[in-house]
């Protein structure tokens, strides 16, 4: 390929890029990186072609030929870390030709696309199994909080602004606006006038010195701040005027952002997104990558190279070819062998797949993760089939105990395989137990397995092919109970519906004895209960996404186990207007559901008692034994005594 200018990423003696833009051509293949702007680079290219034609005794290109040269070109932008392709949404074929050509010069992981907020661009990348090229890098919840807290800056006063280090813009929030009122009068006037001035100024890179958060704040709010005549108002009148601006600002905000705190997932995600935004944005939001995804997944998914289907043939992401060729350690992290095997398995089972994107979730999404808890690998899958207009979204979780884990314990291969098989049955048996008692679990799941190469600590079996089992289910829409924005609880109708439904869910959770098998900590209201809202925005049901930890606590009495369930109301006490009514609704929901389950058992004992008679009954803790003890405890329970213990734990 003919090139005018320096190589991509070439730097001068001071370490600065020699060129920050480029243009790639396809009618006559070539690349221009010489300094200038994209328009002058195009002229350079036409001049080069015409000069070569003159050397060959040919006439210069016609206007039509020149137009064809320019039409078949793509603009590039170079940063220290990446080559950015600026795609034309109406000619994406050219953008992907540029992508293919650039991969011969630089690693694919360093090639990104601009305009990912455009649906055509986003959909085209998604359909190639390339969500990973649009996603922001995962970040832990703790790091996200630190990012926001460390961004707080002051301008000759209190730290009321949030600073984007990339663009240089400081963001003023509604709460920050109210912060002016805390200043003594002369400082208030000085600070407010400074904010007014900087709202109208641009910094050296052309970005606003100060802007309002969220970025969707109506222009009327900004104009009201600018128009306020600070010097013409008395101290009290100025504070009243600022209060009116604050009130209008708050009313204009989406309700989920009104609680301006890092504890509010919605506000935290939006602030992190704003502080991460740069002038050449190549990232799409998680909600744009996966329709209907809960805010708790924001920057928690590590998207991996996927696959697409071309003429009925499976085409893995070319990043896999680069990894196989280079064995680059960084690529080894991205090219997850499990993800490749998942795609392979799906293609063996379904003939109408069009594309697959797979993301890895490496951290617990619980608000307060339980330390020491063993987790199987968790993945999110976006899979499009020909029969459905939209891609399906699924959650896949590997079993916590498989052949690999038992081999790591030092067991021989036969014992490891046997115990892994037993555990797989036990996992599914527990799901059936929960269903029999009425727990609202995902209606359908799939059980699968894949072959992996064992490379664990049991060196006797190094290199042995072993089976690894997993369960896959549809993604459950809604918001996890522990992530519900606290502002929602200021609506009495929402709060009471939440309390009643969570009380019902708590009763079942207590009956099935769910707790962490590693730490014996209670798991209720810590990520697995998903709240689903009706059209009015009021909770209608609670779904339980996973039956992990069930039947761990099957011997202790309900009264001994009830205390942690009081935390559901304790942690919302500060946010509800009528705490006693909130507690009453929770306890009423709990009592009703407990009575219903107990009555169902007593009316149809055989249906419950005989369901696992074919399974081994071992007092050491087999599934059938745990089931029998659970039913025995349920039958012998005194509902009033259990409810009284709950009220005592709550403290009401």
Is 12 domain-assigned?
A: yes
**Consecutive 10-residue averages of pLDDT for the chain (652 residues):** 92 92 96 94 96 95 95 95 94 96 95 92 95 89 91 84 93 91 85 91 90 95 94 92 94 90 89 87 85 86 94 93 93 93 92 94 68 69 93 94 96 97 96 97 93 94 96 94 89 97 98 93 94 95 96 97 97 95 98 98 96 94 96 98 98 84
| Rounded Cα distance, 439 and 431, in Å | 9
Cα separation, 232 vs 606, whole angstroms: 83
Shared domain for 267 and 301, answered yes or no, is no
Do β-strands 161-163 and 378-385 pair in parallel, antiparallel, or remain unpaired?
unpaired
Q: Residue 19: which region, alpha, beta or left (left: phi > 0; alpha: psi -120 to 50)?
A: beta
The span from the CA of 199 to the CA of 192, in Å, is 11
- SS3 at position 161: strand
- What is the C-alpha to C-alpha distance for residues 628 and 555, in angstroms, rounded to an integer? 11
Tokens 């991460």 found at: 276
Is residue 61 within 8 Å of 46, Cβ to Cβ? yes
Per-residue model confidence (pLDDT) at position 141 = 84
Side-chain-side CA neighbours of 422 within 13 Å: the count stands at 13
Same domain, 10 and 106: yes
Q: What integer pLDDT is reported at residue 291 of this predicted model? A: 84
The pLDDT value recorded for residue 184 is 86
Domain assignment present for residue 607? The answer is yes
Residue 182 placed within a domain: yes
Same domain, 439 and 334: yes
Token digits for 316?
A: 């893995």
Who contacts 404 (Cβ-Cβ below 8 Å, separation ≥6)? 452, 454, 456, 466, 468
Identify whether residues 533 and 605 lie together within a single domain: yes
Instruction: Give the separation between CA 440 and CA 512, rounded to whole angstroms.
Output: 13
Instruction: Mark 521-530 as b/e (b = at least 16 C-beta within 10 Å).
Output: ebbbbbbbbb
Contacting residues for 609 by C-beta, under 8 A, at least 6 apart: 628, 631
In a domain, 123, yes or no: no
Tokens for 596, please give them.
Answer: 């219903």
Residue 184 DSSP symbol: -
Residues 522 and 425 in one domain: no
Count the domains in the chain. Answer: 4
The answer on 319 and 425 residing in a single domain is yes
Same domain, 528 and 640: yes
Same domain, 598 and 463: no
Residue 83 to residue 16: CA distance in whole angstroms: 15
Using alpha carbons only, how large is the chain's radius of gyration in Å?
30
CATH number of the domain encompassing residue 631: 1.10.1070
Decide: 251 and 174 in contact? Cβ < 8 Å.
no
Decide if 130 is inside a domain: no
Q: Are residues 465 and 491 located together in one domain of the fold?
A: no
d(CA 318, CA 306): 9
Single out the residue in 241, 276, 311 at which a domain terminates.
Answer: 276
Based on the fold, state whether residues 493 and 410 are members of the same structural domain: no
Domain boundary among 429, 454, 474: 474
Of 216, 241, 276, which residue is a domain's last? Answer: 276
Both 545 and 592 in one domain: the answer is: yes
The torsion angles phi and psi of 23, rounded to 5 degrees, stand at -135, 130
DSSP 379: E
How big is the chain, counted in residues?
652
Asked whether the beta carbons of 116 and 134 are under 8 A apart, the reply is yes
3-state helix, strand, coil in the chain (%, to 5): 45, 15, 40
- Could you give the angle at which helices 38-55 and 63-71 cross, rounded to 10 degrees? 130
Q: Reading across the β-sheet that carries 2-4, which strands appear in turn?
A: 2-4, 30-32, 21-25, 73-78, 83-86, 111-113
Domain presence at residue 340: yes
In a domain, 281, yes or no: no
Residue 645 token pair: 């213990």
Q: What does the block give as tokens for 616?
A: 């081994």
Q: Considering the domain boundaries, does residue 74 fall inside one?
A: yes
Residue 495: which domain range?
479-650
**375 vs 377: CA distance, rounded Å:** 6
Judgement on whether residues 262 and 349 belong to the same structural domain of the protein: no
* Locus of tokens 């909080």: 145
Q: Which letter does DSSP use for residue 68 in this model?
A: H
Q: What angle do CA 176, 253, 274 make, to 5 degrees?
A: 65
Q: Which residue in 83, 74, 87 sits closest to 105, CA to CA?
A: 83
Contact 579, 573 (CB under 8 A): yes
């Amino acid at each position: 390929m003919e090139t005018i200018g320096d190589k991509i990423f070439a730097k001068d003696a001071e370490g600065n890029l020699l060129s920050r833009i480029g243009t790639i051509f396809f009618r006559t293949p070539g690349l221009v990186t010489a300094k200038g702007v994209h328009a002058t680079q195009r002229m350079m290219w036409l001049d080069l072609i015409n000069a070569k034609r003159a050397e060959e005794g040919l006439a210069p290109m016609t206007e039509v030929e020149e137009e064809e040269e320019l039409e078949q070109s793509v603009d590039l932008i170079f940063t220290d870390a990446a080559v950015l392709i600026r795609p034309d949404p109406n000619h994406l074929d050219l953008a992907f030709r540029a992508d293919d050509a650039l991969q011969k010069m630089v690693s694919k992981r360093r090639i990104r696309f601009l305009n990912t907020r455009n649906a055509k661009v986003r959909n085209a990348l998604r359909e190639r199994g390339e969500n990973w090229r649009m996603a922001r890098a995962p970040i832990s919840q703790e790091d996200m909080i630190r990012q926001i807290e460390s961004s707080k800056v002051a301008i000759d006063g209190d730290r009321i602004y949030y600073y984007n280090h990339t663009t240089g813009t400081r963001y003023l929030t509604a709460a920050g606006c109210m912060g002016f009122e805390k200043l003594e009068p002369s400082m208030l006037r000085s600070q407010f006038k400074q904010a007014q001035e900087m709202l109208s100024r641009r910094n050296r890179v052309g970005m606003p010195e100060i802007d309002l958060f969220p970025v969707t704040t109506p222009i009327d709010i900004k104009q009201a701040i600018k128009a306020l005549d600070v010097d013409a108002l008395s101290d009290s009148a100025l504070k009243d005027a600022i209060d009116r601006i604050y009130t209008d600002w708050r009313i204009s905000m989406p309700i989920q952002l009104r609680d301006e705190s890092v504890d509010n997932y919605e506000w935290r995600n939006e602030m992190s997104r704003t502080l991460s935004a740069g002038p050449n944005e190549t990232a799409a939001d998680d909600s744009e990558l996966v329709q209907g995804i809960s805010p708790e997944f924001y920057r928690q998914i590590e998207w991996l190279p996927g696959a697409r289907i071309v003429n009925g043939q499976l085409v893995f992401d070319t990043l896999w070819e680069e990894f196989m060729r280079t064995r680059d350690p960084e690529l080894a992290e991205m090219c997850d062998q499990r993800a490749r095997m998942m795609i392979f398995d799906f293609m063996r089972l379904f003939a109408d797949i069009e594309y697959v994107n797979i993301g890895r979730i490496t951290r617990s999404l619980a608000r307060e993760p339980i330390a020491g808890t063993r987790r199987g690998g968790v993945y999110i899958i976006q899979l499009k089939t020909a029969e459905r207009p939209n891609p399906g979204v699924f959650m896949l979780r590997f079993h916590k105990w498989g052949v690999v884990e038992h081999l790591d314990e030092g067991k021989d291969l036969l014992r490891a395989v046997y115990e892994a098989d037993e555990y797989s049955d036990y996992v599914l048996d527990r799901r059936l137990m929960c269903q029999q008692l009425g727990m609202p679990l995902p209606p359908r799941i799939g059980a699968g397995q894949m072959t992996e190469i064992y490379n664990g600590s049991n060196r006797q079996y190094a290199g042995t092919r072993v089976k690894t089992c997993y369960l896959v289910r549809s993604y459950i829409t809604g918001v996890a109970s522990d992530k519900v924005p606290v502002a929602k609880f200021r609506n009495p109708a929402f709060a009471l519906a939440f309390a009643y439904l969570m009380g019902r869910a708590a009763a079942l959770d207590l009956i099935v004895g769910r707790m962490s098998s590693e730490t014996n900590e209670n798991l209720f209201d810590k990520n697995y209960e998903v709240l689903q809202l009706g059209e009015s925005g009021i909770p209608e049901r609670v779904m339980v996404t996973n039956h992990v930890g069930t039947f761990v606590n099957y011997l202790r009495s309900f009264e001994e186990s009830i205390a942690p369930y009081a935390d559901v109301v304790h942690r919302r006490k500060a946010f509800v207007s009528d705490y006693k009514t909130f507690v009453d609704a929770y306890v009423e929901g709990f009592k009703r559901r407990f009575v219903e389950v107990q009555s169902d058992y007593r009316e149809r004992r055989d249906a419950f008692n005989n369901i696992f008679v074919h399974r081994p009954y071992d007092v050491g803790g087999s599934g059938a034994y745990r089931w029998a003890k659970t039913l025995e405890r349920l039958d012998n329970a005194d509902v009033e005594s259990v409810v009284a213990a709950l009220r005592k734990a709550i403290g009401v």
